[in-house]
């Protein structure tokens, strides 16, 4: 089971934000969570029926509510090891566990990490095969689909139902090494996947692999 929820723009934090809960062999695993408020949080807790086993981040810049969850539900969180980037280190807290592609640490729930050369030094894509067999990529900031229409401004650049780079316009233009960015994302085409889940978009299911290949040709 894959649960997806969106939260609206928040002053000082940006947004909208999109988060995920995965039902895995190890229990519920959260990816890049920003926790909803009120009745939506109550519904999420009812759907899960038990506290999550872990949180996994797609980048050091996506700590979001992982520290709050650790305090509320004693949920440990896994954060990627960042390399040097123009943004510096994104962590405000300290993850319980650190990981990187090819590292010795096994991620919860059967997730597998692939490092990508994004704007955050810790950017990784998380690869997951659901118990149903569906194959999912969690792409964080670098690749996102359509923004949640009810939560975004009318002029948001990701209102069309298509893949785009970044959470804000000009992601590729701001990137200091576009060649490295393209090469790192091109490796994703070696994976099989039916769903692409960004950290600022609704899940993208419209032939995501050909769509990603076409997007990469725009760099």
* Residue 86: CATH number of its domain: 3.60.15.10
- Give the separation between CA 106 and CA 134, rounded to whole angstroms: 21
Tokens of 4: 């997806």
| Residue whose structure tokens are 């995965």 | 22
The secondary structure of residue 162, as a DSSP letter, is S
- Give the separation between CA 28 and CA 96, rounded to whole angstroms: 17
**What would the pLDDT profile of 35-65 be if each residue is shown by its tens digit?**
887 788 889 889 999 999 999 999 999 999 9
* Domains identified in the chain, total number: 1
- For the entire predicted model, the pTM comes to 0.93
- Give the separation between CA 56 and CA 111, rounded to whole angstroms: 9
> Which of 146, 147, 141, 145 lies closest to 184 in space, CA to CA?
141
Range of the domain at 163: 2-216
CB-based contact 48:28 (threshold 8 Å): yes
Residue 29: is its pLDDT beyond 80?
yes
Percent of the chain whose predicted confidence (pLDDT) is above 70: 95
Q: What is the mean pLDDT of residues 125-151?
A: 91
What pLDDT is attached to residue 134?
94
Query: What dihedral angle (degrees, nearest 10) is formed by the CA atoms of 41, 129, 31, 98?
Result: 140
């Amino acid at each position: 089971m894959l649960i997806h929820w969106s939260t609206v723009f928040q002053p000082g934090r940006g947004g909208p934000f999109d988060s995920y809960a995965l039902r895995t062999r190890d229990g519920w695993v959260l990816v890049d969570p920003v926790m909803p408020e009120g009745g939506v949080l109550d519904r999420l807790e009812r759907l899960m029926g038990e506290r999550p086993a872990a949180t996994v981040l797609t980048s050091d810049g996506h700590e979001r509510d992982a520290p709050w969850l650790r305090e509320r539900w004693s949920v440990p969180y896994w954060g990627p090891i960042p390399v040097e980037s123009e943004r510096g280190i994104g962590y405000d807290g300290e993850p319980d566990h650190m990981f990187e592609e090819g590292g010795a640490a096994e991620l919860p729930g059967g997730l597998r990490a692939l490092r990508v050369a994004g704007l955050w030094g810790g950017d990784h894509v998380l690869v997951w095969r659901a118990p149903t067999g569906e194959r999912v990529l969690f792409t964080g900031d670098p690749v996102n689909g359509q923004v949640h229409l009810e939560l975004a401004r009318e002029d948001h650049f990701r209102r069309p139902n298509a893949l785009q780079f970044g959470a804000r316009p000009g992601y590729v233009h701001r990137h200091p090494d576009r060649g490295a960015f393209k090469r790192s994302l091109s490796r994703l085409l070696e994976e099989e996947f039916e769903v692409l889940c960004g950290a600022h978009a609704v899940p993208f299911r419209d032939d995501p692999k050909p769509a990603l290949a076409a997007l990469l040709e725009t760099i």
